[in-house]
Structure 1
Amino acid sequence: MNRNETSARNKILTAAHNLFVTSGYGSTTIKHIAGEAGVAVQTVYFVFGNKRAMLEALLDVTIAGDELAIPTLERTWVADARAAEDPMEHLRIHVHAARLISERVARILLVVRAGADADPEVAELWRTNVEQRVTVLRSLMSSLAEKVAGMDVDTCVDVGLALLSPELYTLLVHDRDWSPEKYEAWVVEGLAASARCS
């Protein structure tokens, strides 16, 4: 991808993010996105093909925080959490990274969830995202269980899925005016209690 294509892709993704969050997935058209991005409609089709592919790309980039093709479980923060000898340090590293991801992606995930009711392809995108979150949580909770005797991994995965959900992040940080740091500390406490490592 050359510089012009990269620039167009970034403009389109930024425009799509803004419009999906403010207007919803269903109400946002390719024409709207092109206009917001300042590019031709055909450019949007050339770069992404369709709106669903654009939403998927937006989700991937927003979760990662960059364009690097590095899966979540191969990210440095995951290795750091696994390497931490202290269970609480493990949780702090994990939850801090998850909170930063939520800051970037929570609103887009809510767009995906809302769009899932009307669009089977978006519903599949939502299911895939939930499965990915469960996979990451299970990996990290299994690693934590090696440091905490008698820990129930399944319960901790479920608690983590709830506490780190885009719905709860948005409710507490955006609707109830919690600081991201307060939310992060609360999640650490909740997961520690669930894992019995506090």
Structure 2
Amino acid sequence: MEDDKIPARRKILAAAGTLFTTTGYASTTIKAIAGEAGVAVQTVYFVFGNKRSVLAALLDTSIAGDDEPIPTLARPWVAEAIAEPDPLSQLRIQVHGARLVLDRAAPVLLAVRAAAGADAEVAQLWATTCEHTETVLRHLTIVLADKLDHVDVDRTVDVGLALLAPETHTLLIDERGWSPEDYERWVVDALAAAAGLEV
């Protein structure tokens, strides 16, 4: 039975991703998701239960890049950044990893944020996502501070949250035409400056 659910799950998430990021979460119905995915409405309910669960699963897989239940702090790119002894190299690794997450997830993150104002459950999902993002960034910044002197952890985290926000990523890459690589280099330079690290 589980094997039968995997293809349907992927189809539903792909369909939901298209609809949530174009027509919006509130305007998207389970029926519309089912139609876009080419599955029965009952299949969507069977696999996910409700629309909010579809959104939560889409957000999880967009951020992770897969269906594996591995927390961000246990992901290989985070471990590589933490293990890197050189502070600037750590920044480059962690920003690259974060940029790849945003390349996948920025449209979904913006859809969640847009829906949060009108739906209490989605607002909680957005709040949890923001807390998770800050936790990961703070952990990496504390690791960076251990390799440097006089790092203002709180300020560096605040700068990182602004630079790596889905709004910033979307503005510079999608609207202003920056390449992902240019955006990534800019984030590294700005975070290095915030940490007092010479590039």
Give TM-score, length-normalised by structure 1: 0.99
Deviation at 1:197, TM superposition (A): 1.1
Alignment of 1:116-135 (within 5 A): 116-135=116-135
Q: Does 1:97 align with 2:97?
A: yes
Measure, in 1, the Cα distance between the counterparts of 2:104 and 2:35: 23
Measure, in 2, the Cα distance between the counterparts of 1:82 and 1:17: 32
Deviations 1:138-196 (A, max 9, x none): 10000000011000111111110000000100000011111000000000000000001
Aligned to 1:32: 32
Aligned to 2:51: 51
SS of the residue aligned with 1:54? helix
Aligned to 1:182: 182
Deviation at 1:79, TM superposition (A): 1.1
Measure, in 2, the Cα distance between the counterparts of 1:60 and 1:47: 15
Q: Does 1:171 align with 2:166?
A: no
Amino acid at match of 2:65: G
Aligned to 2:68: 68
Measure, in 2, the Cα distance between the counterparts of 1:83 and 1:197: 18
Measure, in 2, the Cα distance between the counterparts of 1:125 and 1:2: 26
Amino acid at match of 1:9: R
Structure 2: runs of 5 or more not aligned = none
Quote the RMSD (CA, aligned, Å).
0.7
Measure, in 1, the Cα distance between the counterparts of 2:33 and 2:12: 7
Measure, in 2, the Cα distance between the counterparts of 1:167 and 1:179: 15
Deviations 1:82-120 (A, max 9, x none): 111111000000000000000000000000000001101
Aligned length: 198
Measure, in 1, the Cα distance between the counterparts of 2:2 and 2:134: 36
Aligned to 2:3: 3
Q: Does 1:197 align with 2:193?
A: no
Amino acid at match of 1:12: I
Deviation at 1:2, TM superposition (A): 2.4
Aligned to 1:160: 160
Deviation at 1:76, TM superposition (A): 1.0
Measure, in 2, the Cα distance between the counterparts of 1:55 and 1:123: 12
Structure 1: runs of 5 or more not aligned = none
SS of the residue aligned with 1:146? helix
Identity of aligned residues (%): 62
Amino acid at match of 1:56: A
